Amino acid sequence: MADRFEHIGVIGSGLMGSGITEVCARAGLDVTVVEVDPAAAERGRARLEGSLATAVRRGKLPEEEAERALARVAYETDLGALADRQLVVEAITEDERAKVETFRTLDKVVAASDAIFASNTSSIPIMKLATVTSRPEQVVGLHFFNPVPVLRLVELVTSLMTSEETIARASDFATGTLDKRVIRSQDRAGFIVNALLIPYLLSSIRMLESGFATRDDIDAGMVEGCAHPMGPLALADLIGLDTMQAVAESLYDEFKEQLYAPPPLLLRMVEAGLLGRKSGRGFYEYAPKAAG
């Protein structure tokens, strides 16, 4: 068994997948990213290039290091490309069935008997993913936070089946290799952060929906009154309203408590494609990003 992970797989190259890819590549690791098709892979590469360029422009990363990091990343469209990976992090859409099928396939294609499978899920119980593999003791949750290159927190989530060896190796990877702060959570929907955060965000949507207060006053109240860096409605836009809905539904399914139920306004906005920053409109409107 290797003492240090050198060959990492990442499934998905959206905001979270690209962020995880970036921190791994900047830590000197060889990274293979798998996407659904060549167009998605190209978008993922462009997202990574843009993030690295921003770090260089802001003086956070020497240009030579950015070039070396980019050279460590390969993009593929077949999960079979992960056969030689020592640790694979799944970062696809927050859809339980899609994640379950991904883990089932991973179990078939990854050759190393001691490889660890991790999910970046923000709400789905790890046990549901672990039990579709032949190695449930090697499955964990590694929940990063957006933007991954900036925020140091990682939630390490273990199921009833996760071995102590896997816990130690995954924790060492996050802290020792990626320089992250790890907090441990039991395997409950939402884990620590979202179990606390999502009810707060949903309450702000209900407040707006009922006419209790305006969008701007709700957000200003929390920024100016509680010293939050961002108001709850602006934060919901940043997270993505579709992601918020998925997490809320997962929490409600598990706990059956009304504070986790997504309010009608959230459901209608997701149905309309008003997803927040990523769609250009949510509770706020956002100008399209300039090319390059």
Active site residues: 122, 143, 155, 194
For residue 251, give every residue at least 6 positions away whose Cβ sits within 8 Å of its Cβ, in sequence order, or none: 123, 189, 190, 194, 195, 198, 257, 260
User: CA–CA separation, 258 vs 94, rounded Å?
Assistant: 21
- DSSP H helical ranges for 27-163: 38-57, 63-71, 96-109, 126-130
DSSP class of residue 58 equals T
Q: By 3-state DSSP, what share of the chain in percent is helix, strand and coil, each rounded to 5?
A: 50, 15, 35
In this structure, the chain runs to a length of 292
Q: What is the DSSP string of 95-131?
A: -HHHHHHHHHHHHHH---TT-EEEE--SSS-HHHHHT
Q: Which residue is associated with the tokens 């990523």?
A: 278
DSSP class of residue 136 equals G
Distances 166 to 25, 116, 215, 245 between C-alpha atoms, Å? 22, 7, 45, 31
DSSP class of residue 8 equals E
For residue 184, give every residue at least 6 positions away whose Cβ sits within 8 Å of its Cβ, in sequence order, or none: 155, 156, 157, 158
Q: Contact 229/290 with Cβ under 8 angstroms?
A: no
CA-nearest of 144, 145, 92, 89 to 119 is: 89
